[in-house]
Amino acid sequence: MSAAARTHLFTSESVAEGHPDKLADQISDAILDAILAKDPLGRVACETAVTTGLAFVIGEITTDTYVEMRDIIRQTIEEAGYDRPGFGFDADTCGVIVSIDKQSPDIARGVDTGGAGDQGMMFGFACDETPELMPAPIQLAHQLARQLARVRKQETLPYLGPDGKTQVSIQYQNGRPARVDTIVVSAQHREEASLEQIRDDIRETVIDVIVPARMIDRNTVIHVNPTGRFVLGGPRADAGVTGRKIIVDSYGGYARHGGGCFSGKDPSKVDRSGAYAARYAAKNIVAAGLARRCEIQVAYAIGVRKPVSVLVDTAGTERVPIATIEKLIDEYFDLTPVGIIEQLDLRRPIYKQTAVYGHFGRSDLDLPWERTDKAAQLAEEAGVQRLQVMESQDA
């Protein structure tokens, strides 16, 4: 039996904006956005660690402007929901330490000439499982996590805290998502909320709102706060570090990842911009109908403009020869660091909004690498009919 014909499960997770690792990502990207708003050519490599009562920001930043990082850090912590001492970590009372140096001149000499800011490989992926051209497990996990945040912020469930996790296991039949096998939602809550109330409320206001009824059957297993208690959360319960949720940030493990994180890095860092460009190309290839799934690897050498390699893998779903797809990518997508920045207009403060709930498949945001503006041209040149997809289920 072929892999496409067998029945199997695949699982992906997402995390809430109050999760300590995601809080660290948001702080790093908030600092990046503040600098790019005043200095589009600023060089930023900023990392954050959070723990009980402390936020620690380190890295290398070279810029002609000044931003008050401590104010940005506290504002980001408050926006994530840590606005009262009862959480054991809050914006007003936590300690803030900032230790920033300038970018190494040895790195800058390569970037200044238009080369890549580092070596490494990045992956971009798209498939036709969802309207956003994302794998179904990670897309549903993100939508559940965003809904969990909505019911907290809108005080539909006023007892919820900022921390939380979601996880979705989907059963595939003949290579296509057929049903949801298991859903896990772990939501931080106040002491007074009972487990029975939490489970009933989250089923009604989160799961039933997001997951299509046709995907749930009597055999679907739903776990809500499976340990029975989630009062202690956030940095008080677990330290968080920038870049520790790279699989949540990308494709939920469904496609490969180059290993470098995105948050806290300006677009001269190809860990970020290269991954965005590869997603942009892969998504347009699938949207054009050239393949049902497409994974693109692009690799760079520090200080060198042209990628050292570009690999296209369509897992046998291509409708035109791979050589044709490779030719079209080379023709329509500039994968040099300078070309990526210009094509996607990346020297803007657009990054903090991506630091939670995924960098890809964001139907709730207008992100340049999520556009399918080249799909019609690709389809016409390849002589195929464009992909038709259903409307998004995202609330």
The residues assigned a catalytic role are 19, 21-22, 47, 60, 165, 230, 238-239, 244-245, 265, 269, 271
> What span, in angstroms and rounded, lies between the C-alpha atoms of 337 and 323?
24
Listed residue (86, 82, 15) closest to 55, CA to CA: 82
Question: Which backbone phi and psi does 169 adopt, to 5 degrees?
Answer: -110, 120
Check residue 19 and report its DSSP letter: S
Angle at 10 between CA 6 and CA 16, to 5 degrees: 165
Pair 260, 120: CB distance under 8 Å = yes
Number of residues written out for the chain: 395
Write a three-state SS string for 227-263: CCCCCCCHHHHCCEECCCCHHHHCCCCCCCCCCCCCC
Scan for tokens 């409708």, then name that residue.
Answer: 319
Listed residue (287, 279, 267) closest to 359, CA to CA: 279
Scan for tokens 């897309």, then name that residue.
Answer: 139
Q: 63-92: string of b/e by CB count within 10 Å (b at 16+)? A: beeebebeebbbebbebbbbeeeebebbbe
**C-alpha distances in angstroms, 373 versus 100, 173, 377?**
39, 32, 8
On the 0-12 / 13-18 / 19+ scale of CB atoms within 10 A, 9 is exposed
Question: Which backbone phi and psi does 343 adopt, to 5 degrees?
Answer: -65, -40
> Which residue type, as a one-letter code, is found at position 10?
F
> What span, in angstroms and rounded, lies between the C-alpha atoms of 225 and 222?
10
